[in-house]
Amino acid sequence: MDLVIDANILFAALIKRGITSELVFLNRLYAPEFIFVEFRKYKGLILSKTERTEDEFEKFMDLLERRIILVPQEEIFPFLKSAEQFSPDTKDVPYLALALKLRCAVWSNDKPLKEKQKVVKIYSTSDLVKMFSS
């Protein structure tokens, strides 16, 4: 399944070993190209919350960077205006625009994103667990 992965999912996967970090490898994942810049910026904060060592964090981050297909901003640009019109939060606009471009769903645990717009399908981690376990 193709999915646009939201930053909150990556934070969860980096912080704790578990179902989220396993699901990352069961889907074809896409993200706006800026996503890893954010993670590098907050590396100290993530390390303070994770059960991973810094070396494990770096290795997992490297794996994620190789696993997730990054889409350049210029490819998302034509879809931004449309996404702005229905996005409940401006920070979600690039993810929704990318989902529009790829005609796929977004993987996010952001409840307002799922509940306040109906244009793009949003799957939570628990939704994906249910799908893959049936």
Do residues 78 and 68 make contact, with C-beta atoms less than 8 angstroms apart?
Answer: no
- pLDDT, position 30: 97
Q: Which pair of structure tokens corresponds to residue 11? A: 């934070």
- Indicate the pLDDT class of residue 57, thresholds 50, 70 and 90: confident
The residue extents of the domains of the chain are: 2-133
Superfamily of domain 2-133: 5'-nuclease (3.40.50.1010)
Summarised one tens digit per residue, pLDDT across range 79-120 is 999 999 999 999 999 999 999 999 999 999 999 999 999 999
Contacts of 27 (CB under 8 A, 6+ apart): 1, 2, 3, 107, 128
DSSP conformational letter for 6: P
Q: Is the pLDDT of residue 128 over 80?
A: yes
Cα angle value 4/37/62 (rounded, 5°): 75
- pTM recorded for the entire structure: 0.91
Indicate if the pLDDT at residue 9 is higher than 90.
yes
